[in-house]
Structure 1
């Protein structure tokens, strides 16, 4: 028996080594693909050099370069240039071509250019793709990525090893999580996550309305963290590193997770897919906890999590809209209605559930916060008598509110400061079209009650799983239900509010009475962000109430098969019409969707073209040299203004409140300068009486930002201390018993 155990352990160890080899065999392989897709025509384009790839960084090693395309003339030439010196140059053959060249890089090169010299006599030249590949090159990103994957793999094998061979130790380490019931729940939620993430199981790009924009946000935070900007209120990378202050207005705390994944060497596409998968899992987990917490029923929790997983609007947000803010909101809304239930059920000690829900919403999506806040206000007004009479309920609400505001101070205090101190293009907290109703954005009843429809309609729908909840729910309430229970009453409550929220997404709701709110949430069908979790929770509780204990497992399996089957057309639509080639995928830093958080005088087209140019009101101003590093920009200048006049200098950084500047004159004396938003929305200073020197502009946290950080930090410390104290108190109580 002992020998058999040893043999099994050795086999397990060999299996782990084999798995590690499979994930690490390409650790030193390098592959960079550029989708060029450019055509030069003799009728339109001038002859001469055309840059295809600029400033590619390559480490020491041997690289195979492959150019593919088609040429109709014999005089075109391709050039691979290293630091302005030609490495390889040769003629491009006529017809379709796949040119392969090997280049040797002896030292890390910061600038590899790939160009073509286009001969105007040629009728056309098309470059489709350029690949750089190496079988042995050492890149930090690759090493980090493989190290992380290896550590996670080792951790997974270690957990399985303990689970199989050292069960007692496994139970001591994981405690409640080691119970068979908890393991089954965890595996079921992981299975749901895998199933609803199927369209991401490839190397391609799933095109969504806003997904590209959120990837740019992630990249901006990643670059800001790399430059030491914490918190990353102002995003680098965007608009040629001009510093886009989106973090002041659009909450992005949870995007720090994918930003860190990017820092660990994963591609932006892989990072985005991993992040959405994590959000999926956490959404199902929060729904399971919420419903099980309210009903004390495992099956009700699993049924609700399943309906939540396959809910059409949630999948539309992921695969059609790319609405990351709403995807995050789906994690926290269940905590809101769970906390409300507990408080009005009589357990006011669980006010912290509301704090989790609302703090998460504040850091996720302001519009979802507004929707959840409005719904909560309606609920409180419906129960105003009980709320006013019960002191414990009022105290619970006050605690939840104060804790949420304290924890989120790091976001809303700097936002308010920026709104007061610096005007931006967009309407952040209000709408300028408060009394206008766009009927095109309203759903009809037939739009809403659809099981599946292609996204070319650009209108969401409830989908089969939640339609099933509604039809079964109405039918069950019209006939006598086998088991009457408190849980069924809760299901009715959730069902009513879920239907009301869904109804509010249609043209039948009198939105003209609530036009301000209508314009604040932009699309009334965003009310489905509330209807979806309410109906999913109601359905899970209802099914649990209808079926007897010995019937529930069969129904759970049947509902799982039904939900998976009716989701197939949805995924088929995504995989057929929304998938684009992922190789060579790159983010363009000038695509910022409306640019509503730009300073009010800024123009993104101007910024994109201006690059590192320092602007001056004096024509004699000469930029001797400049240096850009993160949110710091310095320029050595020389000028000769007439009559000692004031000269305005615009530095190529977008203006947000908090920028500081100083002038060092030719004698080495430092002079502080006032910074303001200039005529192009840039950080701007005025100089007078100094004709030569250095201007340095840099971002420094304001006093209010430091106070906000302090409030949030102390709140987190206080809450952690309270949790630890309570845990120790509970342990002492158990020991006494």
Structure 2
């Protein structure tokens, strides 16, 4: 500690960095401690800006459009002085929307505007049609004295009363904490890697590689660092809605979050029961602290890319014991065409997050299947990597898990004799048991629902035609090797890396396999990687016999759940990166490694530049909160029309909700209201017999009556039904509560995690005691 304080005192550059950091924290703290900016405007203070609509007051004293009319901006507030920050807008209104062709309702919205460019973010959150009061969230990017709130009538009757705009100071306080955490991490990194630091890592080459690795991660995130960037892929609104759904579920008291009560216009939706979302709790917590949903997503994206770079470098360094080889391989992986395609062109959060953990699997296999005897230390390392690798794949993307398990199973079968040796088999059994126990909190609900047969929409077609559907979605061979505009391919640098490995295999002679020559083991590992990569490439194309796969009993249905066989390129990417690294490692003693590495990196950076050029597009900035469910309102009246994978059987989705094809409700229903995840039914039973009422909730196990008599059940329409006792008049309140057997699984996973951490700590303490010199 004394050396560290001396270093801080003597180094001018260190003092300058600390002063800058303290100034940033001080300004953030000052912003958090100043009074919250707040404005309230009544109906008569709204200013008319309508061009073709007649502005008048309705019978409740609200001002706006009182007759059906076409859409335009109709009202604005006087200018406001708003500092940079996060704002809640509480609004009193009446809205009767007109409809597009086909009966799709229009959606009116509010947004900030400013005379100064770049001071507002551009989000336009829609108001809730079913309410007369709503709270929206808007953001200001920079201090401005000319901010106005504008009301846009998309079409219909739209009148507004009192509106209150208030700065969210929780977010301001969270920014202070965020800067502190960021600077602590940055300072720790600098102290470990900067020359002259008393705690610098002993390996100077490793320090340099870490700097370059961070630069590559930042380059990978370059589009996301622009305003509104990385938010225009095919699935971005769905994944932003997942973040908002988890945050809303936590706010309602669910943990873990199983059902998004805000989704599908209040019907609720449960991707969390079918789709691992563990890492999305990080951006969801940022949302709870006031960060915009898009800001939370960008933070998550940056964190995942740093994690991807670190895991790839760690895994490759473990295999090759060479910093530079691991660095080149990590850079190829981060900037690979398919990786960038998943991040930006598709915004496939699950898949690009899974790619952060894929390199752990070959690293673990390298330890287990090396010809050297398996020591306890290497077995523990391999076990830990398998648990983390497969466990996180389970938690972020099940289809990536399926592909990885399939490839690993084939590898183990091809090394059957080694697999069934006692130390290797025990390692596999330990890893499998720990993975199941640690993830039982997710596995039990998932398997319960999948085996129930009540949720079959996630499969592609029937067993007869599912394989043909997948085959039709496969890539053409020309697309696989090309450099087409959407960049859904491998990229030439990875193919070149594979050819480098093959060249080494064909040309380097056995006499080069001496201690001072080429390591033939690297070539063997690379050949395995190239072989499996070739298989993965074939499976991604429309030449693979997916029809035959689909006809295999049970297994076939699981295989065709892949939907888009191009997903196998994620496996091909990590394997071809491994092959390229093997080739570079084999060339280290020949003098060709450096020019080949420069060539591969040059092509990789050039390909990334082309991708960023082609990917740039106009982005739409969605509003936060429940308004995300209206992100596709011009096609459907309910959100996420494009995702029906996790609907209960019997649910018939229409553009206006869910159709009740089988009559269920037999009581007199006075009202059904929804708020904060609770559905309140007011009804009267007058026949003297138990009757039923159907609620606007998609059924998932766990819906429970928390107030009033009766029980919840699944109706033939896939919705939640409630039994109403004879002669009962009053209210019945229903909400989601996790079933007790699932709570037991939560406890098992928690106890397992605590046990693993205690064992790790005990082994570390035991190791430290062994390292201490004996007394006397």
Pairwise same-fold verdict (TM > 0.5): yes
Per-residue deviation, 1:162: 5.9
Alignment of 1:331-350 (within 5 A): 331-345=356-370, 346-347=373-374, 348-349=379-380, 350=382
Aligned to 2:571: 530
Aligned to 1:560: 601
- Which of 671, 677, 680 is matched with 1:634 structurally? 680
Aligned to 1:123: none
Q: Distance in 2 between matches of 1:162 and 1:526?
A: 40
Asked if the contact 1:448–1:461 (Cα under 8 Å) also holds between the matched residues in 2, the reply is yes
Alignment of 1:496-535 (within 5 A): 496-515=531-550, 516=556, 518-535=559-576
- Which of 69, 77, 99 is matched with 1:101 structurally? 77
Aligned to 1:591: 640
Asked if the contact 1:675–1:685 (Cα under 8 Å) also holds between the matched residues in 2, the reply is yes
Structure 1 residues 66 and 493: CA distance shift in structure 2, 3 A: farther
State TM-score, norm by structure 2: 0.76
SS in 1 for 2:392: helix
Count of residues in correspondence between the two structures? 672
Asked if residue 261 in structure 1 is aligned to residue 280 in structure 2, the reply is no
Asked if the contact 1:279–1:331 (Cα under 8 Å) also holds between the matched residues in 2, the reply is yes
Q: Distance in 2 between matches of 1:116 and 1:418?
A: 39
Per-residue deviation, 1:99: 7.1
- Which of 576, 580, 585 is matched with 2:619 structurally? 580
Aligned to 1:622: 670
Aligned to 1:36: none
Aligned to 1:469: 497
Aligned to 2:524: 489
Per-residue deviation, 1:252: 1.1
SS in 2 for 1:265: coil
Q: CA RMSD for the aligned pairs?
A: 4.3
Alignment of 1:340-489 (within 5 A): 340-345=365-370, 346-347=373-374, 348-349=379-380, 350-388=382-420, 390-420=421-451, 423-424=454-455, 426-427=457-458, 432-433=463-464, 436-438=467-469, 439-450=471-482, 452-455=483-486, 460-480=488-508, 483-485=517-519, 486-489=521-524
Q: Deviations over 1:400-438 (max 9, x none)?
A: 111111111111111122335572351469964466424
Alignment of 1:103-502 (within 5 A): 110-113=90-93, 130-131=111-112, 137-155=166-184, 158-159=187-188, 171=199, 176=201, 180-204=204-228, 206-345=231-370, 346-347=373-374, 348-349=379-380, 350-388=382-420, 390-420=421-451, 423-424=454-455, 426-427=457-458, 432-433=463-464, 436-438=467-469, 439-450=471-482, 452-455=483-486, 460-480=488-508, 483-485=517-519, 486-502=521-537
Structure 1 residues 162 and 504: CA distance shift in structure 2, 3 A: closer
- Which of 680, 686, 698 is matched with 1:654 structurally? 698
Asked if the contact 1:308–1:536 (Cα under 8 Å) also holds between the matched residues in 2, the reply is yes
Per-residue deviation, 1:140: 3.2
Q: Deviations over 1:508-550 (max 9, x none)?
A: 4333432225522112222111111011111122112213498
Q: Deviations over 1:602-661 (max 9, x none)?
A: 344477489xxxx973464323x856332x333343x2533x233211233322112222
Asked if the contact 1:78–1:115 (Cα under 8 Å) also holds between the matched residues in 2, the reply is no
Per-residue deviation, 1:90: 13
Q: Deviations over 1:469-510 (max 9, x none)?
A: 133333333323664312222222212222221122223433
Per-residue deviation, 1:14: 3.8
Q: Distance in 2 between matches of 1:160 and 1:536?
A: 27
Once the two structures are overlaid, the 10-residue window that deviates more, 499-508 or 144-153, is 144-153
Q: Distance in 1 between matches of 2:61 and 2:467?
A: 60
Asked if the contact 2:703–2:734 (Cα under 8 Å) also holds between the matched residues in 1, the reply is yes
Q: Distance in 1 between matches of 2:751 and 2:8?
A: 56
Asked if residue 722 in structure 1 is aligned to residue 766 in structure 2, the reply is no
Asked if the contact 2:28–2:172 (Cα under 8 Å) also holds between the matched residues in 1, the reply is no
Q: Deviations over 1:251-290 (max 9, x none)?
A: 1111111111222222122222221222222222212111
Q: Distance in 2 between matches of 1:705 and 1:594?
A: 26
Q: Distance in 2 between matches of 1:689 and 1:90?
A: 45
Asked if the contact 1:63–1:104 (Cα under 8 Å) also holds between the matched residues in 2, the reply is no
Alignment of 1:695-706 (within 5 A): 695-706=732-743
Q: Distance in 2 between matches of 1:387 and 1:164?
A: 40
Per-residue deviation, 1:149: 3.5
Per-residue deviation, 1:700: 2.7
Asked if the contact 1:655–1:683 (Cα under 8 Å) also holds between the matched residues in 2, the reply is yes
Asked if the contact 2:681–2:733 (Cα under 8 Å) also holds between the matched residues in 1, the reply is yes
Asked if the contact 2:465–2:547 (Cα under 8 Å) also holds between the matched residues in 1, the reply is no
Q: Distance in 1 between matches of 2:247 and 2:387?
A: 28
State TM-score, norm by structure 1: 0.80
Q: Distance in 2 between matches of 1:425 and 1:512?
A: 20
Q: Which runs of 5+ in 1 are unaligned?
A: 32-57, 119-125, 665-670
SS in 2 for 1:661: strand
Per-residue deviation, 1:309: 0.9
Asked if the contact 1:68–1:128 (Cα under 8 Å) also holds between the matched residues in 2, the reply is no
Q: Distance in 1 between matches of 2:35 and 2:584?
A: 53
Q: Distance in 1 between matches of 2:30 and 2:465?
A: 59
Per-residue deviation, 1:362: 0.9
Q: Distance in 2 between matches of 1:241 and 1:546?
A: 60
Per-residue deviation, 1:382: 0.9
Asked if the contact 1:221–1:259 (Cα under 8 Å) also holds between the matched residues in 2, the reply is yes
Q: Deviations over 1:109-144 (max 9, x none)?
A: 7424498999xxxxxxx9997426776953135314
Q: Distance in 2 between matches of 1:99 and 1:663?
A: 43
- Which of 712, 720, 730 is matched with 1:683 structurally? 720
Asked if the contact 2:316–2:363 (Cα under 8 Å) also holds between the matched residues in 1, the reply is yes
SS in 1 for 2:504: helix
Asked if residue 77 in structure 1 is aligned to residue 116 in structure 2, the reply is no
Q: Distance in 2 between matches of 1:289 and 1:63?
A: 60
Q: Distance in 2 between matches of 1:232 and 1:155?
A: 31
Asked if the contact 1:234–1:246 (Cα under 8 Å) also holds between the matched residues in 2, the reply is yes
Asked if the contact 2:467–2:548 (Cα under 8 Å) also holds between the matched residues in 1, the reply is no
SS in 1 for 2:351: helix
Q: Distance in 2 between matches of 1:84 and 1:109?
A: 20
Asked if the contact 1:351–1:399 (Cα under 8 Å) also holds between the matched residues in 2, the reply is yes
Structure 1 residues 161 and 68: CA distance shift in structure 2, 3 A: farther
Asked if the contact 1:148–1:264 (Cα under 8 Å) also holds between the matched residues in 2, the reply is no
Asked if the contact 2:50–2:75 (Cα under 8 Å) also holds between the matched residues in 1, the reply is no
Aligned to 2:122: none
Per-residue deviation, 1:355: 1.5
Q: Distance in 1 between matches of 2:522 and 2:702?
A: 53
Q: Distance in 2 between matches of 1:675 and 1:127?
A: 35
Per-residue deviation, 1:727: 1.2
Aligned to 1:15: 20
